[in-house]
Amino acid sequence: MNEIFKQLRATLLESVYNILPILIIITGFQFLVFQTMPDEIFSIAFGFLIVIVGVAFFLVGLELGVFPLGNSLSNEFLEKKSVLLFTLFGFFIGFSASIAEPAIIAVAMQAQGITRGAIDAFTLRLIIATSVGAITAFGVIRALYGWSVSKIIIGGYILVLAITAMTPPQIIGLAYDSGGVATNVATVPLIVAIGIGIASSLSGRSVLKDGFGFVALAAITPMVSIQLYGIFALGDNFNIADIAIDANIEKVKTIADYTFMTILGGIVDTFTNIVPILLSIFVFQYLVLRKRIPNLGRVIIGFIFLVFGLYGFIVGIKLGLFPIGESIASSLVEMNSHFYIYLFAFLIGFGTTMAEPALVAVIKQADRYSELSLNVTLIRILVALGVGCGILLGTYKIVEGLNIWILITSLYGFVVFLTFFAPKEMHAFAFDLGGVTTSEITVPLVTAFGIYLATNIPGRDILMDGFGLIAFASVFPMITVLSYSIAAKRFAP
């Protein structure tokens, strides 16, 4: 237990470090620019505290319960050399990790509230999780047989752009955002570990070229599936432009609204969210491999941490991140200063990305296993600049009422163009970086910010214009890293 508490303490400090840039940016704007305090400041502050604790518990739960089992199962399937079993495992681990992903839950809650239930949050999560599971299974097959990941990803982007032309405009931003949040705190470590594990275990494979790409693939499929859902399930007449912002989140916003029964019911609901992870792992462990789970007591503690961490995160974003996102957007709109709107958009993207733990972990993994020497600090800065510019452009789109289809098509088309000139070894790595840059803390804040802007600027559609910031934040890092790799290759001695 002492080891677990040490790990929890270290993770708490890491969570504080990760949220510190957001706090500095928010505090700076509140005191230096707005010179006011937001309403319900104590509930918001308490919400931020709960987010920090919730994320720490969630990450420790993953480390204790999910990751060790996922890694051991991957090794077992590699030893068995059973493509079918490994593929099934890939599907279920991708599905179960995504269905419990905090950032996906946050965006799904927003979409359900905005549409007053026309888009069901659980249905949205189910579509995204199924998409991630299916592409993770395909990714296992691709890695095992050594198929070119860059060609598959480029083909995927072309398919996404083609389907976008037929998608109801209100769904496009949500679909692209869904791809951005599908690869986050729960999914990235698992699927990156699977890819690197396969590439490093098979002879003649490059970890940088063959081991990466899972994250990018997992980001593409939700874009496709949500757009298809919009085309066939919602139809051309889907229009919620007149819905007010008050519908975008639940009414529970203050500490006083949380009673004992509310908290108990929330914990039970949260437990049901991670049941797919439990079922996936236990079914493969006991029914397929027919082996006992090692360190079962430690695993159980891990899943207890997971439940309380996930519930704490959900409560925290309702109390802290959603309200502060709306409050800042409200103050910026009242100031009628485009400069400060754009400045906040860029800073929140750049600052939070520089502290993103998943980004650092992926770059270090690439540097450790690749045959190329990667400048970790420089790539972090390039990615952070990309995210900052992406959220800046997405905000500019909302303010000026630009067409998201034209912008997003042009950007992804430019990514495809860059791949023809960038070193092949960098393709999958650059694509993956676009999927790990939006953290579980950034997504709720940026989403609430975009939705409030779209609601309070005349002539904007709350669903069509409010979503899309995460999509822009995901595509720009691909552009900056691919451009850097082209320049480095061109001017190399």
pTM tops 0.85, yes or no: no
Contact in structure between 14 and 56 (CB atoms under 8 Å): yes
Contact in structure between 92 and 280 (CB atoms under 8 Å): yes
In whole angstroms, give the CA distance from residue 120 to residue 138.
27
Question: What's the pLDDT score for residue 356?
Answer: 66
**Coil, strand or helix: which one is 356?**
coil
What the block records as the tokens of 228 is 């298809």
**Coil, strand or helix: which one is 186?**
coil
In whole angstroms, give the CA distance from residue 108 to residue 222.
13
In whole angstroms, give the CA distance from residue 419 to residue 158.
13
**Which amino acid belongs to residue 22?**
I
Q: Could you tell me the residue range of the domain that residue 228 belongs to?
A: 2-490
Contact in structure between 488 and 267 (CB atoms under 8 Å): no
Give me the tens of pLDDT residue by residue for the chain, a chain 493 residues long.
777 888 888 888 877 877 777 788 888 888 888 887 777 778 778 888 888 888 788 778 877 876 676 667 767 777 777 788 888 888 887 887 787 776 787 778 878 877 777 788 888 888 988 998 898 889 888 878 878 777 888 888 889 888 988 888 878 888 888 887 776 655 666 677 677 777 767 776 776 677 777 778 888 888 899 999 888 877 655 555 444 434 344 444 566 667 777 888 888 877 876 777 777 777 877 777 777 777 778 778 888 888 888 788 778 877 877 777 777 878 887 887 889 889 988 988 888 777 666 676 667 666 666 655 667 778 888 988 998 999 999 999 988 888 888 888 889 889 889 988 888 878 888 888 877 666 666 677 777 788 888 888 887 877 777 778 888 888 898 999 899 888 887 776 6
- Nearest Cα to 405, choosing from 213, 229, 169, 189? 169
Number of separate domains in the chain: 1
